[in-house]
Structure 1
Amino acid sequence: MLTPRLITRTVAAALDEDAPWGDLTSTALLPEDATATADLVAREDGVFSGGEVFAAAFTLTDAAVQVDVHVGDGDRFSEGDVLATVTGPARGVLTAERVGLNFTQRMSGIATLTAQYVQAVDGTGARIADTRKTTPGLRAFERHAVACGGGRNHRQSLSDAVMAKDNHLAVLQRDGRDLARALREALSHLPHTTHVVVEVDRLDQIPAVLDGGAHTVLLDNFSIDDLRAGVALIDGRAQTEASGGVDLTTVRAIASTGVDVISVGALTHSARALDLGLDVRID
C-alpha cells in the first residue's frame, strides 16, 4: 500500500541519490533569492498517477516550494494539458525536477498501459492484474499505478498468499509427493483466510489441483483452445487465472475463453515512461 510514510522515505532516498552533496549547478548559477514557476505538461495522452509522489519531491527538497496538482490519480489527460504547477525558490524547484519527473513519468506510464489492457478486455468479465515483476523497492508505487489504470493488484508479497508455481511442483514431484495430498495438508495448517493458488501448464494437472482444494488455478502459457478446455474442466470449482503470452494483441482472445483473471507482468516490467515535462515559465 502506498502510504505517506513510504512516499517520504522512498522519495527522500531518491533525492539523496540524485544530489548527495546538493545541486552544484543550481547553487553555482542561480541567486539564492531567485524564484520560479514551472508547469508539469503532458507531451502525450495518458492516465495520470503519482501526484502525491511528484509533490513530495519538491516539498522534501524545500518546504517553501508549493505544488498544485490539477488532476487526480487515475484521471485521463491529453497532450498539452497542464497537470501540475510548481512555485517557489528556483534552486529547490530545479533540484527536485528530475526526481519528481522520474516518479510520475514511470507511474503514469504504468497507469496508461494498464488502462489499455483494461479497455481491451472490456465486456468480457475478465480482470487485469499485475504480478510481482516489479522494480525492487518500488512495488507499492507501481502497484498503485496499476490500480490508477483500472487494473487489480495480485498478492503484494510472498507473505500474502500461497502460490505454488512450477518449481514448487517440481520439488514435490522429485520427492515423490502427491500434489493433491500436499495441498490438503497445507490447507489444514493455514489460516482459513489464506488464498491458495496453484500454477499448472498442462490440462492433466488440473484434477489433482482441484482435488487438493486450491482456490485459484493459474493456467500458464496455455493455448486459447486449452484455456477454454481448462475453464470448462474447472467448471466454477475454483477461480481461473491465465498468464503467459499476454500482450495487447492476444489479451482479448484470452479473456474470451472465460477466465476470471489475466495476470500481466508487462504492466510493470515493460511499461514505457510517459513523456511529461516540467517547463519553467519565462513570462
Structure 2
Amino acid sequence: MNRPNYLSSEKIHLFIQQALQEDVGDGDHSTLGSIPSHRKGKAQLLIKEPGILAGLELAQMIFLQYDPELKVELILSDGQEVQAGDIGLRVEGSAASILTTERLVLNCMQRMSGIATKTHQLNQLIKHTKAKLMDTRKTTPNFRLMEKWAVWIGGGLNHRFALYDMVMLKDNHIDFAGGIPAAIQQTKSSLKSKGLNLKIEVETRTLDEVQQVLEVGGVDFIMLDNMDYATMRKAVEMVAGKYPLEASGGITEENLKDVAECGVDFISVGALTHQVKSLDISLKAF
C-alpha cells in the first residue's frame, strides 16, 4: 500500500516490537492461564460509530508480527468512510494470539481513526480554498509515526516529521538569536557548514517581521502566527506569492474557514493530533 516516505517497514516493525514489549512483557498471563494453547478462534473488527477508518494496514502487521500463523482478511481499506455496524477485518487462528494482540490493535486503530476522521471533517470546511491542512509536532511521544500516518490517511498534509528534517525558526529562536536577520543568517551558515540542505521556515508575528523576512530572503516558507484576519490578508498581499504562507496558532474548527479565505497556502492545526476523540471500535469473537 502507498505510504508517506517516513513510514518504512523497519520503523513500523520497531514500533510494534516496542509496543508489544510494553503491553505483553513476560507474558499475557490472563490468556496463558485460561486459554489452551491449541484453541483456535475467529474475531472481527466492529465499527461502532461513523468516521474515517485508519490503521487497518497497521493492525494486520501487528497480528502477523506477533503470530505469523494468523490469517487476517482486510474487508475495508484505510481512508474509507465507515458507519456503525461495518466490519473492518477478520482474523483467524490461535485464540491466545488474538486475545494478546487485541488491545494494541484497538488502541492504535481507535486513535488513528479519530485523527483521520477529524482531519477529513476539517478538510471539508476549506475545500473551496487553496489552503491545505497540515499537522504539527504536537503529538504523543513514541506514537508520532502513527498519528502523522493517520493525518495523511484522513487527507491532510504532514508538516516536518521532527526537529531534524526541516528548520523552523519560531519566536523563541528569533528572540534568542537576536532577531530575524540574525536567526536566518546564522541558520544558513550553520547548514552550509554541515552540508545540510534543509527547508527553512520563519515564524512571523507582525507585518514588520514579515517585511524583515522579505528583505533578508533565502527562506522557503513564512509562518503567520496568531494574526487576525485583516493582518493576515495584508501579509498575503505583501508576500505576493514570493513564499508559501502558513497560518498557525489559535486555529479552531470555528475559524478555520475564515483563515483559509485569507489566501494562505497552508494551515497547521495542532488539535488534529492532541485534541481528538478516538473512534469507537471493538474486536469481537464470532
Same fold? TM cut 0.5: yes
Q: Which runs of 4+ in 1 moved over 4 A?
A: none
- 2:93 aligns to what SS in structure 1? strand
Aligned 1:188-227 pairs, distance under 5 A: 190=192, 193-213=197-217, 214-227=219-232
- Answer yes or no: is 1:20 the counterpart of 2:25: yes
Give 3-state SS (helix, strand or coil) of 1:218's partner: strand
Stretches of structure 1 that go unaligned for 5 or more consecutive residues are: none
Q: Work out which of the residue numbers 276, 282, 285 in structure 2 matches 1:280.
A: 285
Unmatched tracts of structure 2, length 5 or more: 1-5
1:51 maps to what in 2? 56
- Please report the TM-score for the alignment, with normalisation by the length of structure 1: 0.93
Q: Which residue is 1:128 aligned to?
A: 133
Number of positions where the alignment pairs a residue of Structure 1 with one of Structure 2: 277
State the AA in 2 paired with 1:4: S
Shift of 1:185: 5.5
Q: Tell me if structure 2 keeps the 8 A contact 1:181–1:212.
A: no
In the alignment, which residue of structure 2 is the partner of 1:271?
A: 276
CA contact (8 A) 1:143 1:153 kept: yes
User: Which secondary structure state, in structure 2, belongs to the residue aligned with residue 199 of structure 1?
Assistant: strand
Mean Cα displacement is larger for which, 152-161 or 86-95?
152-161
Which residue number in structure 2 is paired with residue 249 of structure 1? 254
Q: Which amino acid in the other structure matches residue 157 of structure 2?
A: R
| RMSD of aligned residue pairs (Cα, Å) | 1.6
1:155 equivalent among 155, 160, 171: 160
Conservation of the 8 A alpha-carbon contact between 2:56 and 2:74: yes
Which digits, 9 at most, give the CA deviation of each residue in 1:139-185, with x for residues without a partner? Answer: 22111111101100111121212211000111123xxxx53355245
**For 1:186 and 1:5, how far apart are their aligned partners in 2?**
32
* Counterpart residue type for residue 201 of structure 2: V
Give % identity. 38
In the alignment, which residue of structure 1 is the partner of 2:102? 97
Instruction: Spell out the pairing of 1:35-184 with structure 2 (5 A cutoff).
Output: 35-173=40-178, 179-180=180-181, 182-184=183-185
Q: Deviations over 1:249-275 (max 9, x none)?
A: 110010000000000111111122111
Q: Is the 8 Å Cα contact of residues 173 and 183 (structure 2) preserved in structure 1?
A: no
**TM-score (normalised: structure 2):** 0.92
